[in-house]
Structure 1
Amino acid sequence: MTLSLDAVVEAPGRIFFDALRRRLTGSLHTHDEPGFDDIVSPWNLAVAMRPAAVVVARTAQDVVETVRFAGAHGLTTGVQATGHGAERSLAGHILIMTKGLDEVTVHPEGWARVGAGVKWAKLVAAAAPYGLAGVNGSTTDVSIVGYTTGGGVGPLARTYGINADRVRAFEVVTGDGVFRRVTPTEYPDLYFALRGGKGAAGIVTALEFDLIHMPSFYGGAIYFDGADAAAVIDRWRGWADALPEQGTTSFAIFQLPPLPEIPPPLAGRMTLGIRFLWTGEPSEGARLLNQIREVAPVILDDANLRPYTEIDHVHADPVDPMPVVDPSILLNGFPAEAAERLLTVAGPGSGSPQVIVEVRHLGGAYAREGAHPSAFSHRAARFSVLTVGMAVDETMAAGTLAHAREVFAALADWDTGGVWPNFGVPHDAVSARRSYDEPTLARLREIVDTYDPEGVLQAGAYTRAVA
């Protein structure tokens, strides 16, 4: 029998957490101890994680012991590394923090092994001396494992696809408390589920994946005044569709606060950023981006030939923890009418509260299936749309979310009904059906039932919610 969270929180002593503490090389903290909230706080400060206890794991065996303890006492477990993509309902009774699993090994022949707590930034720095890089996300501040188990779509997507397709092996603890090594030939069902299924099928402790040869790239971002957004986006639409696969691009409507750390041309006003990463000959990348530069005056030009260690210049995502509301959708097209509708609700004069409204162009290698089937279900999507607004309090959060829904309603004619698992973490029936198609959900449910028959992993609950 699985106990209610309230029952565990109200009477933690009867759950014998001390018995688990004695088995760990890491540490265990209960909800009534000083500093507990700081330990469990995720990157998104608007999400309050409320488990009864947290285990800060130092080894994979700590994860095994915690999952077995939870199973023996009718409890559930959640997992958190860097705290990106946090969802309160996924904390479980015991939240396992994997940020201490921080091993990094780069093999010069072109692959890497990382622990579950490793952020992309650490891997980028370790791989650079060999001229290697990973197919990372829009910011290197997120964990490699969390990004990859959700598919892994980043600024190299049109050239190199998703990182889930580059995985050689997982080391994972499944809900039955067993540590397994998973490859295309060892537990192929888990190999399918862990690439796109987030943490539903197991808690990943280490990951091995292929790297690419990329010592440098041409790219970054160029910025325009918000008043020129309509003209620039109109050119961008056709330009993006015509790009060879060596190019991946997105645009973002920014409303950044007037703070000292914000570049003066962007602070306290609405601007438009065109992000671009070109993996081919740099001069050709510059020639292509000049076709956008010529549309309107560029107020800040941050695109040039860069070492790969400067990959974060492309999206320039914030890294400091903050309270945000950041829903997303996927589109099957972005014609002129869609651009006009978007600008009406989120462009100059709209009164939009969003700090960022982003549209990413997809296709290319992203659209092609990998060598092995995976739980990633959105290859046919042609664009993604993300809104990011502040959520300092409940009133602000509600207003920001209501406006995001207005943005999505304006684009409803092109909405696929789907969302990337990393941008809309599956946690209930509604989010599950947006994250996966029905055949994938059915297969995930079968795999979860096989390896977690008692429902110990909270992340797998969504598969049963759609049964």
Structure 2
Amino acid sequence: MSAYGTVRGAVLAPGDDGYDAERTGFQTADPHRPEAIVVAEDAGDVRAAVEHAAARGMPVAVQSTGHGLPLPAGGGLLIATRTMTGVEIDPEARTARIEAGVRWARVVAAAAPHGLAPLSGSSPGVGAVSYTLGGGIGLMSRRYGFAADHVRSVDVVTADARLRHVTPESDPDLFWALLGGRANFGVVTALEIGLLPVGRLYGGGLYFDADLIPEVMDTWRRWTETVPDEMTSSVALMPVPDVPVFPEPLRGRHVAHVRIAYTGDEAEGERLIAPLRAVGPRLVDTVGEMPYTDSGLIHNEPPVPMAYRATNVAVGDLDGALVRDLLGLAGPGAPDRAIVEVRHLGGAMAKPPAVPNAVGNRDAGYLVGLLSKLGTDDTGAGALHDRFGGLLAARSRGQVLNFLFGANATPERVRAAYEPETYRRLAELKARYDPANLFRLNHNIPPAR
């Protein structure tokens, strides 16, 4: 028996074959550098790893796909869950049981034959469990709310190395804290989530050239004030590299990419987006009827791992002055190359869920994000993100946890992802369930004193 007891999966130390590959996720900047990695095969492995770490006072980090790494872990124990990929669909109950390493693409594919879909996000390659624990703003969230609002039960290993099956009835406090508290309260090994009766969408992308970007932004801003909750959309300003991986009409251009996901019928969708198409010619227009299994094509995010820095600010509204400021910061002709995305929130996301959870800042109308691809010299990226934060400081309604990565996942920004009363309650529950702050290599909420 190894030092990790009954662990069936690999246990890796620095220098071992597979150590570097296992610690590096989709986000390749500043990967974890743990003392050891347990590649968990099941909940029993997770429980044994937590027991080992707790007995030695080793802090614990968790990683499935590594899309949204917070500050990297130096030392401690990393539990990698990527091999835990079980998915079970119950078409009668309209639920799915998903294990900790499952990506959304697997859930979407398993649910589709039953005419069902999860409240998945823009990228099918993202880990479904970590996304949901952080709230989860999905392609249909204005219609159906946050992904966390649709969780039925949680299987989690807490700091006492106990595997618990948590429901709103069995432990309402822990259930509330897990959904929105992300990795602060234990290692989640599986979720049971509700599925939606959705088999298709009216969706896709409208791509406009640089000269139309100001009008696109102003039109989209005013248009979002009129659309029904069935319409979820965003717009991204992107400098597209001149490389073959991108469609030829977009290469080397600074474009506005309007992303559309509408759960109503095609004819009404066509009518609703007519004002956007009327702005002018599109470089590419992919909006139309699609099966939900193709929904990843709406944002069409690159599946290749990379180093990036990203942050976000939730705001109440979007006016012309803010749009002009964003164009000056990272629009066509701006000195820094970065992606600015504005997501339309509201709708069902602004309403209390049927079962309460800790997801914060539901009153925001828009989420403004900035993403910079990192290279050999990242000084400019840091300065750009500082300017972005200063630009939106006076308008901020807080942060969204799932979009806080790397150096931007500071304690102050994590706190800003919640209303003060929610954060206070989370800290008190942290003191109950993890008083030693074993789970601190994350978007950490320290236990109340």
- Give the alignment's TM-score, normalised by structure 1: 0.92
Query: Structure 1 CA distance, aligned partners of 2:363 and 2:222?
Result: 19
Equivalent residue in structure 2 for 1:424, among 375, 386, 404? 404
Tell me the residue number matched to 1:309: 293
Residue 47 of structure 1: CA displacement? 2.1
SS at match of 2:358: coil
Q: 1-side partners of 2:84 and 2:74: how far apart?
A: 19
Show the counterpart of 2:48: 65
The 3 A distance-change label for structure 1 pair 92 and 60 is farther
Aligned letter for 2:418?
Y
What is aligned with 2:427? 445
Instruction: State the distance in 2 between where 1:297 and 1:182 align.
Output: 52
CA distance in 2, matches of 1:405, 1:224: 28
Other-structure match for 2:386 = 405
Deviations 1:312-365 (A, max 9, x none): 1211112110011111111111111111111122212112310x2100011100
For the Cα contact (< 8 Å) 1:78–1:92, is it kept in 2?
no
Q: Distance in 1 between matches of 2:226 and 2:40?
A: 48
Residue segments in structure 1 that go unaligned for 5+ positions in a row: 1-16
Q: How much has 1:287 moved relative to structure 2?
A: 1.3
- Offset of 1:272 from its aligned partner? 0.5
Alignment of 1:31 with 2:14, yes or no, is: yes
Mapped contact 1:151–1:422 kept (Cα < 8 A) = yes
Please say which of residues 425-434 and 88-97 is displaced more in the overlay. Answer: 425-434
Structure 2 unmatched runs, 5+: none
* Aligned-CA RMSD value: 1.7
Contact preservation (8 Å) 2:71, 2:442: no
* 1:351-395 per-position Cα deviation (integer Å, ceiling 9, x unaligned): 2310x21000111001111012211111011111111111122x2
The share of aligned pairs that are identical, in percent, is: 37
| Counterpart amino acid of residue 293 in structure 2 | T
Number of equivalent positions? 446
Please state whether the residue corresponding to 1:155 is helix, strand or coil. coil
CA positional deviation for 1:113: 0.4
Look up the match of 2:38.
55
Poorly superposed stretches of 4+, deviation over 4 Å: 425-428
Q: 2:107 aligns with which of 119, 123, 137?
A: 123
Q: Which amino acid aligns with 1:165?
A: D
Letter in 2 for 1:67: V
Q: How does 1:101-116 map to 2 (within 5 A)?
A: 101-109=84-92, 110-116=94-100
Asked if the contact 2:58–2:438 (Cα under 8 Å) also holds between the matched residues in 1, the reply is yes
Query: Could you tell which deviates more after superposition, 182-191 or 449-458?
Result: 449-458
Matched with 1:266 is 250
Letter in 1 for 2:113: P
What SS is found at the alignment partner of 1:32?
Answer: coil
Shift of 1:226: 1.3
Between the aligned partners of 1:412 and 1:450, the Cα distance in structure 2 is 34
Distance in 1 (CA, whole Å) between partners of 2:434 and 2:75 is: 15
| C-alpha spacing 1:461/1:273, structure 2 compared with 1 (3 Å) | closer
For 1:392, the aligned partner's letter is G
C-alpha distance in structure 2 between counterparts of 1:34 and 1:306, whole Å: 43
Please say if residues 50 and 88 of structure 1, whose CA atoms lie closer than 8 Å, have aligned partners that are also in contact: no
Change (3 A) 1:212 1:389: same
**Partner residue of 1:14?**
none
Residue of structure 2 in register with 1:457 after alignment: 439
Structure 1 counterpart of 2:235: 251
Distance 1:228 1:375 in 2: 40
Q: Tell me, yes or no, if the aligned pair for 2:34 and 2:73 is still in contact at 8 Å.
A: no
Moved more, 109-118 or 342-351: 342-351
Corresponding residue to 1:350 among 330, 334, 337: 334
